Amino acid sequence: MQNPFGNNDDNQGGPGGLPLPPNYATVVDPTTGEMRLGKVGFSFTALIFTFLVPVFRNDWYNFLCMIGLQAGVFMGVYSLPNLTPDNLARIWAIADTLFQILWGFIYNMMYFKHLFNRGFQPTDQRSREILVNGHYLKEN
């Protein structure tokens, strides 16, 4: 199959031998053979869709972490004394925007680290290098 990503390396590490973009890595659970594919780096999908990303990836652990952190901040913001409802709404809008940016920067790392804690391992040397260079995995 011709590689649509323009790089000439043997980049056939995807499911079924399909070519992968340069910043994607594959991991596999050696006990079940389950394979997961993910991007290493900034997550534009988490920036835009926040909580829907872990739902679509069936990543309930990180979904609950994201909800819990935002709920804690939400309760903290709405417990501030002597603020009008308009000011509280503005503060919450700013906090929500900051959370969207935060999830964009760290969600992919959270996803891979949780997979590693569950026993997943990189499928090949290329994926291992991408994960080590992105500081998602420690060098062995």
Residues forming a β-bridge with 28: 35, 121
- Residue 86 DSSP one-character state: H
Average pLDDT estimate for 74-91 = 87
pLDDT confidence of residue 6: 58
From the centroid of its chain, how far is CA 116? 13
**Please, what sign has the CA dihedral across residues 61, 113, 124, 8?**
positive
pLDDT confidence of residue 77: 83
pLDDT confidence of residue 105: 97
Average pLDDT estimate for 80-106 = 91
Distances (CA, A) of 49 to 43, 100, 101, 119, 124: 10, 8, 11, 27, 30
pLDDT confidence of residue 132: 95
Nearest Cα to 9, choosing from 129, 133, 132, 117? 129
pLDDT confidence of residue 111: 96
The band of 80, judged by pLDDT with boundaries at 50, 70 and 90, is confident
> In angstroms, rounded to a whole number, what is the distance separating the alpha carbons of residues 127 and 37?
10
pLDDT higher than threshold 60 for residue 2: no
Mean pLDDT, the chain, integer: 88
Q: What is the pLDDT of residues 14-68, one digit of tens each?
A: 677 778 888 999 999 999 999 999 999 999 999 999 999 999 999 999 999 999 9
pLDDT higher than threshold 90 for residue 88: no
